Amino acid sequence: MTQTDSATPLRSTSGFDLTPPSDSQRVALEADLSPEEKRVLLAHGTEAPFCGTLLGEKRAGVFCCRECGLPLFRSGTKFESGTGWPSFTEPVDPAHVRAVRDDSHGMVRVETRCARCDSHQGHVFPDGPPPTGLRYCINSVALSFVPEGAPLPDPLGRGDGTA
């Protein structure tokens, strides 16, 4: 994806503004993060398995990027993988999650990052259930949950709407 005109917002097919935060916006977003959130989102860390607060979340709604508020996964795509992290079969919009090759820890994996703020979310594996066969294994601390019908987090003031 490339942006040809900095005055024109980069939009996903679902209508969300994917333009990265400005430097000053990024400073404000990062200042709002806890030390653990910074370790995972900014330093590409991983929370301990079976400890995340969203692992057992079963309500209808949307899981958003904890840093910038972009909707990443719908509750209807969440499944119990037994891995200890919230797992999803597909993102809200393919343009919302960026895949990056990860060669760390002596293995080759696909890291998932928020397409808007580039924060680390987790990894995607090809061992998920139908219909996609994918398992987006995401850190709870990298997400915020918004119940269906509630306003989406909008720390960048982009008018993101409701879940």
Give me the residue spans of the domains in the chain. Answer: 23-147
H or E segment to which residue 142 belongs = none
What are the 10-residue block averages of pLDDT along the chain, 163 residues in total? Answer: 52 94 97 97 95 95 98 97 96 96 79 97 95 96 97 91 82
Which one of the listed residues 70, 124, 137, 138 is annotated catalytic?
Answer: 137
Task: Say whether 68 counts as a known binding-site residue.
Answer: yes
Residue 51 pLDDT:
93
Say yes or no: domain 23-147 is CATH 2.60.40.3080: no
Residue 7 pLDDT:
55
DSSP assignment string, 72-117: EEEGGGEE--SSSS-EESS-SSGGGEEEEEE-GGGS-EEEEEETTT
Task: Say whether 51 counts as a known binding-site residue.
Answer: no
Known catalytic residue at 64? no
DSSP-based three-state secondary structure for 4: coil
Residue 29 pLDDT:
97
